C-alpha cells in the first residue's frame, strides 16, 4: 500500500482528492491536515465521506508527514514550497496541486504570484504533471507540479496541432469558461449565487496567472515562442471548464480528425469525439476525462477545438491521482474508472 498524506484537506480540491483516494485500491490515507480544523472528524465536515474514513484533521506536523510515501498539497499558492524541501530530503515524494512549482523562472513566479519563492533551487527539478505530455519524466520524479485547470483543457486541445506543426504559433487564442468552484471554497462576494447566478462575465483579460504557465508549455511543445491570447470567463455553474480554442492552419492538406485520433488513441483519459460533435461539461462531471472535438468551419484555415474537463478532477485532483499512479508504477486508470454523472 502507498501511504499518503494530504496537506490542506478542507477545500474543494482536497475533498475531491479524498473522494478519489478512498476508492483507490493501493492507497492508505495516513494523514489529512488543516490548521484551522485540526481535531475535527473529516466525515463531520464532509458527510459524503461518512463510512469511508474515520480520520480527523491534524496539524501539518512535518514529523508525521515524513512517514508518508507521498504527500499531496491541496493548498493555496505559496504553501507547498515551505515544506517541500524537508519532505524531499526525507525521501517523501511531493505532488503539488497549486502553482508553486509550475513556473521555472523565479522572476516570472514573483511577477505573477506577488511573493518570493522560498526554494527556487527546486524549480528546475519539478516535473510538469500533464501525463499526456510528460509521462516518462513523471515516472522518475520526486516533485510533481500538477497543471492548473485552465491549462489542462487548453494544452490538451492544442497539443496535437503544435506537435505536428500544423498551425501558426503566433495566432493562438483560448476563450475559456469555468464554474465557480474554480475559485476555491472560501467566502467571496463575487462567488455568491446572488452575484454569479444568471450572469456571465470575462475576467483578468489583461493577464491571468495561468497565462505564463500555458505559454511556457506551448513554447516547449512548438519549440518556439508563441503568440497566445487567453480570456477566462465565469459562468453560473459549479463544476466544469469549456475551452474554445482557435488556431490558423499553415497546412490545409491535413485530416484534423485523424491527427487528434492518432495522437490520443492510447490515452485513457482523452476522448476524441466524432466529427461534428460538441462536447458539454456535464459529459465529464465527476470524472478524470477530457472530451475534445475538432472543427474546421467552412473548410477554411481556421481550426476550432472544443475541450471540456471537470476542473476539480482532470483539472486538479483526478490528474494528481493519475500522476500518483504513474509515479508508483500502477496502471494509470487505477482508482479513476468512474463514469460521468448525468443529468
Q: Do residues 210 and 264 share a domain?
A: yes
Q: What is the CATH number of the domain that holds 110?
A: 3.40.50.720
Q: What is the pLDDT of residue 191?
A: 67
267 with 290: CB under 8 angstroms? no
- Residue 182: give the domain boundaries: 150-310
Q: Does 137 reside within a domain?
A: no
Q: Cα dihedral angle (20, 26, 30, 36), rounded to 10 degrees?
A: -10
Is-catalytic flag, 146? no
> Is the pLDDT higher at 35 or at 20?
20
Q: Do residues 183 and 284 share a domain?
A: yes
Annotated catalytic residue, options 68, 119, 146, 149: 149
Q: Does 138 reside within a domain?
A: no
Q: Do residues 110 and 156 share a domain?
A: no
Q: Do residues 177 and 111 share a domain?
A: no
pLDDT tens track for 281-330: 999 999 999 999 999 999 999 999 999 999 999 999 999 999 999 999 99
Q: Does 61 reside within a domain?
A: yes
Q: Does 141 reside within a domain?
A: no
Q: Does 320 reside within a domain?
A: no
Q: Do residues 154 and 115 share a domain?
A: no
Q: Does 333 reside within a domain?
A: no
Give SS3 for 320. helix
pLDDT tens track for 117-148: 999 999 999 999 999 999 999 999 999 999 99
Q: Do residues 96 and 19 share a domain?
A: yes
Q: Do residues 104 and 192 share a domain?
A: no
pLDDT band at 195 (very low <50, low <70, confident <90, very high): confident
Q: Do residues 75 and 196 share a domain?
A: no
Q: What is the pLDDT of residue 124?
A: 95
Give me the residue label for grid cell 497539443.
Answer: 159
Tally of domains in the chain: 2
Q: What is the CATH number of the domain that holds 206?
A: 3.30.360.10
309 with 121: CB under 8 angstroms? no
Q: Do residues 165 and 26 share a domain?
A: no
Kindly state the average pLDDT of the residues 159-176: 97
Q: Does 330 reside within a domain?
A: no
Rounded Cα–Cα distance for residues 242 and 227 (Å): 21
Q: Do residues 76 and 173 share a domain?
A: no
pLDDT band at 182 (very low <50, low <70, confident <90, very high): confident
Q: Quick one: residue 298, left, alpha or beta (phi over 0 = left, psi -120 to 50 = alpha)?
A: left
Q: Which residues, in sequence order, are bridge partners of residue 247? A: 303
Q: Does 338 reside within a domain?
A: no
Q: Do residues 162 and 305 share a domain?
A: yes
Q: Do residues 119 and 161 share a domain?
A: no
**If residue 304 lies in a helix (H) or strand (E), which one and from where to where?**
strand 302-309
DSSP class of 287: S
Beta strands in 113-261 (DSSP E): 127-128, 143-145, 172-178, 201-202, 228-234, 241-248
Q: Could you give the angle at which helices 256-263 and 149-163 cross, rounded to 10 degrees?
A: 120
pLDDT band at 36 (very low <50, low <70, confident <90, very high): confident
Kindly state the average pLDDT of the residues 186-201: 76
Rounded Cα–Cα distance for residues 59 and 204 (Å): 35
Amino acid at each position: 500500500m502507498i501511504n499518503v498524506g494530504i496537506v490542506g484537506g478542507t477545500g474543494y480540491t482536497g475533498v475531491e482528492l479524498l473522494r478519489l483516494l478512498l476508492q483507490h485500491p493501493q492507497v492508505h490515507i495516513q494523514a489529512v491536515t488543516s490548521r484551522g480544523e485540526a481535531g475535527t472528524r473529516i466525515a463531520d465536515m464532509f458527510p459524503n465521506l461518512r463510512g469511508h474514513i474515520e480520520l480527523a484533521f491534524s496539524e501539518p506536523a512535518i514529523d508525521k508527514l515524513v512517514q508518508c510515501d507521498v504527500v499531496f498539497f491541496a493548498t493555496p499558492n505559496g504553501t507547498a514550497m515551505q515544506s517541500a524541501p524537508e519532505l524531499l530530503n526525507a525521501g517523501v515524494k511531493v505532488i503539488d496541486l497549486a502553482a508553486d512549482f509550475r513556473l521555472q523562472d523565479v522572476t516570472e513566479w514573483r511577477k505573477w504570484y506577488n511573493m518570493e519563492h522560498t526554494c527556487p533551487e527546486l524549480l528546475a527539478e519539478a516535473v510538469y504533471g500533464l501525463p499526456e505530455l510528460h509521462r516518462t519524466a513523471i515516472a522518475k520524479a520526486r516533485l510533481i507540479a500538477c497543471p492548473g485547470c485552465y491549462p489542462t483543457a487548453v494544452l490538451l486541445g492544442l497539443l496535437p496541432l503544435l506537435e505536428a506543426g500544423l498551425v501558426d504559433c503566433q495566432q493562438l487564442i483560448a476563450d475559456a469558461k469555468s464554474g465557480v468552484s474554480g475559485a476555491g471554497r472560501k467566502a467571496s462576494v463575487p462567488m455568491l449565487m446572488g452575484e454569479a447566478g444568471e450572469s456571465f462575465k470575462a475576467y483578468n483579460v489583461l493577464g491571468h496567472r495561468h497565462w505564463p504557465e500555458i505559454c511556457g508549455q506551448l513554447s516547449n511543445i512548438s519549440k518556439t515562442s508563441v503568440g497566445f491570447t487567453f480570456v477566462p470567463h465565469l459562468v453560473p455553474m459549479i463544476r466544469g471548464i469549456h475551452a474554445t480554442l482557435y488556431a490558423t492552419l499553415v497546412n490545409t492538406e491535413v485530416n484534423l480528425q485523424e491527427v487528434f485520433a492518432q495522437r490520443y488513441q492510447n490515452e485513457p483519459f482523452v476522448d476524441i469525439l466524432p466529427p461534428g460533435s460538441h462536447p458539454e461539461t456535464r459529459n465529464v462531471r465527476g470524472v478524470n476525462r477530457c472530451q475534445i472535438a475538432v472543427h474546421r468551419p467552412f473548410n477554411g484555415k481556421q481550426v476550432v477545438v472544443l475541450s471540456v474537463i471537470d476542473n476539480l478532477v482532470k483539472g486538479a485532483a483526478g490528474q494528481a491521482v493519475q500522476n500518483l499512479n504513474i509515479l508508483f508504477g500502477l496502471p494509470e486508470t487505477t482508482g479513476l474508472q468512474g463514469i460521468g454523472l448525468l443529468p
